[in-house]
A and B are shown apart, each in its own frame.
Chain A
């Protein structure tokens, strides 16, 4: 069992390289030392292309490989994978109609002490702007393995967002579907916890009569599981920019009157270092913060 999502990533790549001759890993220095330590670069020297610290090139090269029939896996820290080469992802992959697996590490507040330059809570929102991106946000290393394998065996454009932050237990997740973690009475409020937010959400709502849905696939959004709950009050708790998936929820419930509270990373320059937990608190995403926001929303005094 991998102990971190990054370990799960390295293991899954090892499996892919062994079983899929079309799998090629494209890097911009980040990750090279981990793949080296795992012996993979030595074992498959042709299947790793390190571009050096050149992220635009990393994405363009990956697109060229996809054009030649390969399944590229493109990997870096979140801001350098998604934000810096965003136009390359838009043109070289989306517009050219090519597929590939984008895998980031260091999402949420893994990089709290590194500062804003190493954080990208905008990532999922940005990729949502492009057509046909599947997006996976695992909350546990074992879930990361499941989702990475699904990403590797599809032909489409997939983003897998990995964090060091993790829930204590893996859930029996299925790619594309939300997992019903806790079922409240029919029609009771629904709290949707995305990826690594689940433990904090469960802690926050332990005394509330709510249904908890656990999302690890965020695009395409699993509207049916949400609709089946018949809920009219929805709370969305995301490990990235606040309200990133609000429009999917509005779309899923377009024909039903409903209220929505979105919790997530606030769009502000915090200008603090410290620990991931410090940042979680500052954005009101610790279990106390989540409970306060949910209580105000569900039971206004």
Chain B
């Protein structure tokens, strides 16, 4: 792995992510959006999510759904850093026999909950999973769903935002990566779309790990929570 140094437990650090990402080549179109999610996905896996690469199907795990399946390089790099997949799996991503495609397929990758790529699917599924946990009276696991600001164009998200708010799905957290991709923008701010449906919200610098972490771990009794993570404009 060249000049990379892994820690004693075999995990790689944030500083290694760049190297891990350079193992993946060939997805020029999506490479920029991949990096827009890097710090959020790293912070989630490093200090927010209760997930364990040795028990990816643990019923008590937090569920993370990358709804924005575009540009999954950062996601794959973090999964490799946290030992869900071997780092040498990254180098031939997108090839016929690789489990790693330009859009992820949950059936092929350990610890990946769903397959995404067509936009606007993750959040409705996340609402269903949260309701499932509620029916099972499992109050501890959280459901985290990452979407893009352009992905919010898809109406299915707004169906989900409304219902999650009305049902007070406290175990649900949505992270919106805001990099100015939405063609027609979101006048009044992205957070306001959620707030009007009763969600709690935080808008943070999507490159600041401490900010991201505190926004994602903030308590929000009785309501779902959205974190708008702002990064450089596309």
Contact = CB atoms under 8 A, between A and B. Distances in A.
B152 interface: no
A173 interface: no
A138 to B, nearest CB: 28
B129 A64 contact: yes
Interface stretch (B29-37, B158-166, B196-204): B158-166
B125 interface: yes
B135 A67 contact: no
A96 B106 contact: yes
B135 A63 contact: no
A65 B121 contact: no
Nearest to A59: B124
Interface in A30-64: 46-47, 49, 51-52, 54, 56-57, 59-64
Nearest to B128: A64
A65 B131 contact: yes
Given A59-B124, A64-B125, A95-B115, A54 B133 contact: no
A54 B164 CA distance: 13
Nearest to B117: A91
A46 B135 CA distance: 6
Given A56-B155, A57-B159, A92 B121 contact: yes
Range of interface residues on A (Cβ < 8 Å)? 20 to 34
Given A54-B159, A57-B159, A68-B133, A96 B107 contact: yes
B212 interface: no
A297 interface: no
A88 interface: yes
A151 B156 CA distance: 28
Contacts of B127: 57, 60-61, 64
Nearest to B115: A95
Contact of A63 (B105, B125, B130, B136): B125
Nearest to A64: B128
A60 B121 contact: yes
Nearest to B120: A56
Nearest to B167: A49
A87 B118 CA distance: 9
Interface in A97-148: 97
Contacts of B130: 64
A83 to B, nearest CB: 15
Contacts of B136: 68-69
Interface in B136-160: 136, 155-156, 159-160
27 contacts: A26-B128, A49-B131, A51-B163, A54-B162, A54-B163, A56-B155, A59-B124, A60-B121, A60-B156, A62-B128, A63-B125, A63-B128, A64-B126, A64-B127, A64-B128, A64-B129, A65-B129, A65-B132, A66-B128, A67-B125, A68-B128, A70-B132, A87-B118, A88-B121, A88-B124, A88-B156, A91-B121
Given A57-B156, A60-B121, A88-B124, 4 more contacts: A57-B163, A64-B132, A68-B128, A69-B136
Interface of A: 24, 26, 46-47, 49, 51-52, 54, 56-57, 59-70, 87-88, 91-92, 95-97
Q: Can you list the 9 inter-chain pairs with the closest CB atoms, starting with the nearest? A: A64-B128, A60-B124, A68-B132, A61-B128, A57-B159, A54-B159, A64-B129, A56-B156, A64-B125
